[in-house]
Protein backbone atom coordinates (compact mmCIF):
# COMPACT_ATOMS: atom_id res chain seq x y z
CA UNK A 1 0.00 0.00 0.00
CA UNK A 2 1.90 3.02 -1.23
CA UNK A 3 2.19 5.22 -4.25
CA UNK A 4 -0.46 7.53 -5.60
CA UNK A 5 -3.39 6.19 -3.53
CA UNK A 6 -1.81 7.52 -0.34
CA UNK A 7 -0.77 10.84 -1.90
CA UNK A 8 -4.33 11.81 -2.75
CA UNK A 9 -6.45 12.98 0.15
CA UNK A 10 -9.66 11.41 -1.21
CA UNK A 11 -8.39 7.88 -1.81
CA UNK A 12 -6.25 8.03 1.33
CA UNK A 13 -9.19 9.13 3.43
CA UNK A 14 -11.29 6.26 2.00
CA UNK A 15 -8.62 3.77 3.15
CA UNK A 16 -8.74 5.27 6.67
CA UNK A 17 -12.50 5.20 6.82
CA UNK A 18 -12.85 1.59 5.68
CA UNK A 19 -10.36 0.35 8.29
CA UNK A 20 -11.71 2.52 11.09
CA UNK A 21 -15.38 1.72 10.44
CA UNK A 22 -14.60 -1.98 10.54
CA UNK A 23 -12.73 -1.53 13.84
CA UNK A 24 -15.64 0.47 15.31
CA UNK A 25 -18.12 -2.22 14.31
CA UNK A 26 -16.02 -5.03 15.79
CA UNK A 27 -15.39 -3.02 18.98
CA UNK A 28 -19.14 -2.45 19.44
CA UNK A 29 -19.74 -6.17 18.93
CA UNK A 30 -17.03 -6.95 21.47
CA UNK A 31 -18.57 -4.56 23.98
CA UNK A 32 -21.99 -6.22 23.53
CA UNK A 33 -20.54 -9.70 24.07
CA UNK A 34 -18.75 -8.45 27.18
CA UNK A 35 -21.93 -6.81 28.54
CA UNK A 36 -23.81 -10.08 27.93
CA UNK A 37 -21.07 -12.02 29.71
CA UNK A 38 -20.36 -14.19 26.63
CA UNK A 39 -16.77 -14.74 27.68
CA UNK A 40 -15.54 -17.22 25.10
CA UNK A 41 -17.05 -15.40 22.13
CA UNK A 42 -15.73 -12.10 23.45
CA UNK A 43 -12.20 -13.44 23.79
CA UNK A 44 -12.28 -14.90 20.31
CA UNK A 45 -13.53 -11.63 18.84
CA UNK A 46 -10.88 -9.67 20.76
CA UNK A 47 -8.16 -11.64 18.96
CA UNK A 48 -9.87 -10.97 15.62
CA UNK A 49 -9.94 -7.27 16.49
CA UNK A 50 -6.24 -7.24 17.41
CA UNK A 51 -5.50 -8.80 14.04
CA UNK A 52 -7.71 -6.24 12.31
CA UNK A 53 -5.68 -3.39 13.87
CA UNK A 54 -2.42 -5.07 12.94
CA UNK A 55 -3.23 -5.98 9.35
CA UNK A 56 -5.14 -2.81 8.45
CA UNK A 57 -4.16 0.23 10.47
CA UNK A 58 -0.68 -0.71 11.70
CA UNK A 59 0.34 -2.12 8.30
CA UNK A 60 -0.93 1.14 6.75
CA UNK A 61 1.14 3.09 9.32
CA UNK A 62 4.29 1.11 8.45
CA UNK A 63 3.73 1.76 4.73
CA UNK A 64 3.26 5.49 5.35
CA UNK A 65 6.44 5.78 7.38
CA UNK A 66 8.46 3.90 4.75
CA UNK A 67 7.13 5.87 1.79
CA UNK A 68 4.64 8.70 2.02
CA UNK A 69 6.01 10.45 5.11
CA UNK A 70 9.56 10.50 3.72
CA UNK A 71 8.28 11.86 0.40
CA UNK A 72 6.25 14.60 2.12
CA UNK A 73 9.25 15.85 4.12
CA UNK A 74 11.42 15.73 1.02
CA UNK A 75 8.89 17.80 -0.92
CA UNK A 76 8.32 20.27 1.89
CA UNK A 77 10.72 20.30 4.89
CA UNK A 78 8.25 22.53 6.77
CA UNK A 79 6.04 19.53 7.51
CA UNK A 80 8.82 17.75 9.42
CA UNK A 81 7.37 18.49 12.89
CA UNK A 82 3.91 17.33 11.80
CA UNK A 83 5.38 14.09 10.49
CA UNK A 84 7.20 13.51 13.80
CA UNK A 85 3.87 14.02 15.59
CA UNK A 86 2.01 11.70 13.21
CA UNK A 87 4.68 9.04 13.69
CA UNK A 88 4.25 9.34 17.47
CA UNK A 89 0.50 8.74 16.94
CA UNK A 90 1.41 5.52 15.11
CA UNK A 91 3.66 4.58 18.04
CA UNK A 92 0.79 5.13 20.48
CA UNK A 93 -1.39 2.79 18.41
CA UNK A 94 1.43 0.22 18.34
CA UNK A 95 1.94 0.50 22.11
CA UNK A 96 -1.76 0.12 22.92
CA UNK A 97 -2.13 -2.88 20.57
CA UNK A 98 0.89 -4.59 22.11
CA UNK A 99 -0.43 -3.94 25.64
CA UNK A 100 -3.75 -5.51 24.65
CA UNK A 101 -1.91 -8.52 23.22
CA UNK A 102 0.00 -8.94 26.47
CA UNK A 103 -3.08 -8.53 28.64
CA UNK A 104 -5.52 -10.76 26.77
CA UNK A 105 -3.99 -14.18 27.61
CA UNK A 106 -3.39 -13.10 31.22
CA UNK A 107 -6.66 -11.39 32.12
CA UNK A 108 -9.15 -12.13 29.33
CA UNK A 109 -11.86 -9.55 28.64
CA UNK A 110 -12.59 -6.88 31.21
CA UNK A 111 -13.66 -3.24 31.20
CA UNK A 112 -10.07 -2.02 31.00
CA UNK A 113 -9.35 -3.96 27.82
CA UNK A 114 -12.55 -2.71 26.19
CA UNK A 115 -11.45 0.81 27.06
CA UNK A 116 -8.08 0.18 25.43
CA UNK A 117 -9.80 -0.93 22.22
CA UNK A 118 -11.97 2.20 22.37
CA UNK A 119 -8.90 4.37 22.92
CA UNK A 120 -7.37 2.99 19.70
CA UNK A 121 -10.40 4.33 17.83
CA UNK A 122 -10.08 7.80 19.38
CA UNK A 123 -6.33 8.06 18.75
CA UNK A 124 -6.78 6.86 15.17
CA UNK A 125 -9.63 9.31 14.48
CA UNK A 126 -7.57 12.27 15.70
CA UNK A 127 -4.50 11.00 13.85
CA UNK A 128 -6.39 10.68 10.56
CA UNK A 129 -7.77 14.21 10.87
CA UNK A 130 -4.29 15.62 11.35
CA UNK A 131 -2.87 13.53 8.51
CA UNK A 132 -5.45 14.93 6.11
CA UNK A 133 -4.33 18.45 7.05
CA UNK A 134 -0.72 17.59 6.25
CA UNK A 135 -1.43 15.96 2.86
CA UNK A 136 -0.99 18.47 0.03
CA UNK A 137 -4.04 19.09 -2.22
CA UNK A 138 -2.66 17.67 -5.40
FE1 LIG B 1 -2.94 7.26 6.54
Q: What is the pLDDT of residue 1?
A: 44
The chain-wide mean pLDDT, for the chain, equals 95
Q: How far is the CA of 55 from the centre of ligand 1 (A)?
A: 14
Q: What is the pLDDT of residue 138?
A: 52
Q: How far is the CA of 18 from the centre of ligand 1 (A)?
A: 11
Q: What is the pLDDT of residue 109?
A: 97
Q: How far is the CA of 61 from the centre of ligand 1 (A)?
A: 6
51-97 pLDDT tens trace: 999 999 999 999 999 999 999 999 999 999 999 999 999 999 999 99
State CA 123 to chain mean position distance.
8
Q: How far apart are the C-alpha atoms of 114 and 56, rounded to whole Å?
A: 19
Q: How far apart are the C-alpha atoms of 56 and 62, rounded to whole Å?
A: 10
Q: How far is the CA of 50 from the centre of ligand 1 (A)?
A: 18
Stated pTM of the model:
0.94
Amino acid sequence: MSGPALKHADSHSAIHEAALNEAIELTNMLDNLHQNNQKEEALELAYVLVEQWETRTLAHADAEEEGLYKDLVEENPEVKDDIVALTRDHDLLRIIVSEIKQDLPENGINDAIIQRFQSLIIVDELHNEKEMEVLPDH
